[in-house]
Amino acid sequence: MPLKTIKKETADTLMLEWVLHVKDYKLTLNKNRCAGCQICSLACPKEAIKVEKCPKLDGEKAGKPVVDVDLAKCNFCGICDILCPYGAIRVNLDGKHLLSVVEKESFPQLIRDIQVDTSKCPIDCVECEEACPLGLIRVSRLTPDVKTVESVSPLEHEKSVPKLKVDIQREYCPCCRVCEVKCPEGTIRVRKFLNGKININTEKCPTGCKDCLDVCPITGALYLSDEDRRVHVNEAFCVYCGACKIVCPVEEALDFKRTRINHTSIRSGTWNKALERLASPVDMTKELKTKGSLKARESVKKRVALKETQNA
């Protein structure tokens, strides 16, 4: 008998489900978090995800590219979930966010390297909370008995013991570093997990078009220059998701490529292929070589250490 499958789509979510008698696989796409960046579709080993440009209406802003998942091809492996920089896709097994590919070490995880040292936080400061383009940061104040108080501005008598707590919803954070730059005291340190290069070719870029800017979820990564009415890039903030590249109407107007992805170290054919598509074959080979030389170095180290112990 055929498998019971469900596909539901609402304005906010897209949901796919395999309802087996003993197991329940569910993939949920949160359309509000999704930037339409194509990373999932590039990484999907079953080519089940399609990202298509949203038709643009005259005089309106460019819409986010639309993501669709093919129920017939999807195998609920969760690789899209792992790689989505915005955490827009969740694959659940029996309602739990447990991914077999992670458990069996057959696919790496992204390293979201975010460090916060709240001891340096000035009282009253909510710069990071306000700066985060995705609204993922929440600053709250702790009372001496470590209870959270809603308001940040402390009561008069508490001024002597300032203590702030910065909560970051890491699973949704694309590591754009806006908070790091905006923080007046250097409390937050963020390392990007996606690295690459982006450049707008001013000769090709049509004047007045700001489609890329419309879809970019990171405020400040792209900006409209007052001088030439064209969009410019601030690479400091760009997360290299590539949503801009999809909507750009002119070929070669936007040079975009990913080079390196920060991830947990793992041996996996699926990852090599994903990296090849997300970055380039050259970058994939580079990573493989690095892994190889690291391994060689380690084995040499071990041998030397062994000899030393023997000599000793």
Partner 1 sequence: MPRKTTQAEGKAKKGKRSSKKSESKPMPKVNEPRIGVFVCQCGSNITSVMDVEELTDYAKTLPNVVHAENMNYPCSFKGQEEIIAAIKSNKLDRVVVAGCSPRLYEPTFQRCVSRAQLNPWLFEMANIREFSSYCHKTTPREATEKAKDTIRMAVAKARLLEPLEPIELPMTKKVMVIGGGIAGINAALDLADMGFKVYMVEKTETIGGYMALLDKTFPTLDCSICIEGPKMVDVGRHPNIEIISFADVLEVEGNVGNFRVKIRKNPRYVIAKNCTGCGECKDACPIEYPNYADMYLGVRKAISVPYDQAVPLIYTINRDYCIECFKCVDACGARQAINFDQKPEAIELNVGAIIVSIGYDMYNPKDLEWTGYGKYDNVFTALEFERLILAAGPTGGKVIRASDGQKPHSIAFIQCVGSRDINMYEYCSSFCCMYTLKHAVMLKEKYRDGIDVYVFFNDMRSNFKGYEEFYNRAQKSGVKFVRVKLENRRVTEEPETKNLTVHGETEDGKPVHAKVEMVVLANAAIPQQTAPELARILNVPLNKDGFFIECQPKIRPIDTDVPGIFLAGACQGLKDIPYSVAQGSAAAAQAASVLRKDSWTVEPLVAKVNEDLCSGCRVCESACGFHAINVEKAGDKQLAKVTEGLCRGCGVCASACPMDAIAMPNYSDRQITAQIGAVMQKETRA
Burial letters for 235-265: b for 16+ Cβ neighbours within 10 Å, e otherwise? eebbbbbbbbbbbbeeeebbebebbbbebee
Min dist. Cβ of residue 66 to partner 1 (A): 25
Site for partner 1 contains 268 (CB under 8 A): yes
H or E segment and range at residue 90:
strand 89-93
Site for partner 1 contains 271 (CB under 8 A): yes
State the binding string over 214-253 for partner 1 (x if CB under 8 A, else -). ----------------------------------------
| 32-61: contacts with partner 1 (CB under 8 A) | 45-46
| Member of 9, 12, 98, 100 binding partner 1 (CB under 8 A) | 100
| 63-92: contacts with partner 1 (CB under 8 A) | 75, 77, 79
Min dist. Cβ of residue 5 to partner 1 (A): 9
CB of 267 or CB of 289, closer to partner 1? 267
Site for partner 1 contains 295 (CB under 8 A): no
Site for partner 1 contains 273 (CB under 8 A): yes
Number of Cβ within a 10 Å radius of residue 100: 13
Please give the angle made by the CA atoms of 231, 43 and 104, to the nearest 5 degrees: 140
Stretch that binds partner 1, among 29-37, 127-135, 156-164, 270-278 (CB under 8 A): 270-278
Nearest Cα to Cα of residue 107 among 79, 81, 134: 79
Q: Residues in the chain, how many?
A: 312
CB of 186 or CB of 292, closer to partner 1? 292
| Member of 30, 106, 109, 234 binding partner 1 (CB under 8 A) | 106
Give the β-pairing of 137-142 and 164-168: antiparallel
Strand order in the sheet with 89-93: 4-9, 13-19, 24-30, 89-93
Evaluate whether 108 touches 266 at the Cβ level (below 8 Å).
yes
Please state the separation of Cα 66 from the chain's center in Å.
18
Min dist. Cβ of residue 266 to partner 1 (A): 9
Residues near partner 1, by CB under 8 A:
1-4, 18-23, 45-46, 75, 77, 79, 100-101, 103-107, 267-271, 273
